[in-house]
Structure 1
């Protein structure tokens, strides 16, 4: 995934689309937008940083999971999943993640009223949202999560996995591919997000990262994220400017 910070307007359409697509509770944002002020008041500027799961090449969350519920699936493009059948809710992965993009929703609700009480869960589900989709795969953390587990972004695997093989980019402007595009990418009004195959030299994401010197967030951790940011000169906090080798 590539996110162009020069195009992003901080509208949070990605956050809303992700929540609806993945049945998350209000306040539990798998795809959030961080707002911060750059510079001292009153001359400082408001900035924002979209932050999905980085789907790291060497994810620290995988190394610390005692039950191997968190795993990286190379057959699924290297996406990191949480197997809800194995997760015991110990939260080790939440502590190990340097990006703060994992969630445990069984505690005090982040937003009132507590929708877990208004829409009680069925068949072990944490809650039963009135808009829940038909896709469910607890082995990959897809669907309405059960109680006592950690959840996270999956790059909308239930969508992208159905795309034709060999496609370089999943572009919402292509009518034949629009249904396979991750929800956050599809709904981005200024088209600040791109999703494709980095290993394909003909892909748009490959060209954008190379031509615009894409950087990765907190690359000094060694996690090697699969999310690249463009326009990092805008001033992203905690950015270590490492160009793609």
Structure 2
């Protein structure tokens, strides 16, 4: 995934689309947009930073999972969750340097707790009336049961069905739009792109090369598969620590 920070307007359409596509609880934002302040008074600017799961090439969350519930998909490189194996130990939450994992069995992030409005009789977190048909607990797809950790799947249930050999998944190509991740498909300013880095002709490869794409906290060795563009200026990509220190909301 490639995210152009110069184009992103912080509208949070990605957050909303992801929540609807993946039946997320309010506040459980797999596609989060972090807001923070930059500069000093009186020259203070409100900034924003979109932050999905990085689906790392070398994910620390996988190496610490005692039950192998978190794993790398051998075909597409996705980092996925097996709800059937997760014991809710939260080791993966601690190991992830990006803060993109969620454990929602505790107090609801947003009140009132909507789980009481749409309770589930199947041992899951809730049963919203608008839930989608996709359900694959072995890949962390669908409404999770109690006592497990959840995370962004890059819309595996959509992307994995795309025709083989496609370089880019673009919502502007009619025959491919149903396979595009929800956050990419709804991005109004066209700030998100999704494609195959192994194909030199892919748009994501060209964007990363032309605008010197960078990866967040690359010093961790996790090798994220999300690249940020900002006119080649790496200083425009903040670290999570700098956002916390500057008044992230």
TM-score computed with the length of structure 2 as normaliser? 0.94
Q: Which moved more, 1:34-43 or 1:146-155?
A: 34-43
Which residue number corresponds to residue 218 of structure 1? Answer: 217
Which residue number corresponds to residue 185 of structure 2? Answer: 186
> Are the counterparts in 2 of residues 156 and 182 from structure 1 also a CA contact under 8 Å?
yes
Which residue number corresponds to residue 242 of structure 1? Answer: none
SS at match of 1:215: coil
Unaligned runs of 5+ in 2: 241-249
Cα distance, 1:112 vs structure 2? 0.8
Structure-to-structure mapping, 1:13-52, within 5 angstroms: 13-52=13-52
> Are the counterparts in 1 of residues 171 and 185 from structure 2 also a CA contact under 8 Å?
yes
Cα distance, 1:197 vs structure 2? 0.2
> Are the counterparts in 2 of residues 38 and 235 from structure 1 also a CA contact under 8 Å?
no
> Are the counterparts in 1 of residues 21 and 132 from structure 2 also a CA contact under 8 Å?
yes
Which residue number corresponds to residue 226 of structure 2? Answer: 227
Which residue number corresponds to residue 162 of structure 1? Answer: 161
The whole-number CA distance in structure 1 between the counterparts of 2:45 and 2:113 is 35
The whole-number CA distance in structure 2 between the counterparts of 1:145 and 1:168 is 32
The whole-number CA distance in structure 1 between the counterparts of 2:160 and 2:7 is 27
SS at match of 1:217: coil
Structure-to-structure mapping, 1:63-142, within 5 angstroms: 63-75=63-75, 77-142=76-141
Q: How many residues align?
A: 238
The whole-number CA distance in structure 1 between the counterparts of 2:42 and 2:107 is 36
The whole-number CA distance in structure 1 between the counterparts of 2:207 and 2:236 is 19
Cα distance, 1:42 vs structure 2? 2.1
Residues 80-137 of structure 1, C-alpha deviations (whole Å, 9 max, x = no match): 0110000000000000000000000110000011111111013121100111000000
Cα distance, 1:189 vs structure 2? 0.4
CA RMSD of aligned residues (A): 1.0
Structure-to-structure mapping, 1:133-152, within 5 angstroms: 133-152=132-151
Cα distance, 1:41 vs structure 2? 2.0
The whole-number CA distance in structure 1 between the counterparts of 2:47 and 2:160 is 33
The whole-number CA distance in structure 2 between the counterparts of 1:38 and 1:122 is 47
Superposition misfits of 4+ residues, deviation over 3 angstroms: none
Residues 210-236 of structure 1, C-alpha deviations (whole Å, 9 max, x = no match): 111000000000000000000063723
The whole-number CA distance in structure 1 between the counterparts of 2:174 and 2:84 is 36
The whole-number CA distance in structure 1 between the counterparts of 2:44 and 2:227 is 26
Residue 237 in structure 1 maps to residue 223 in structure 2: no
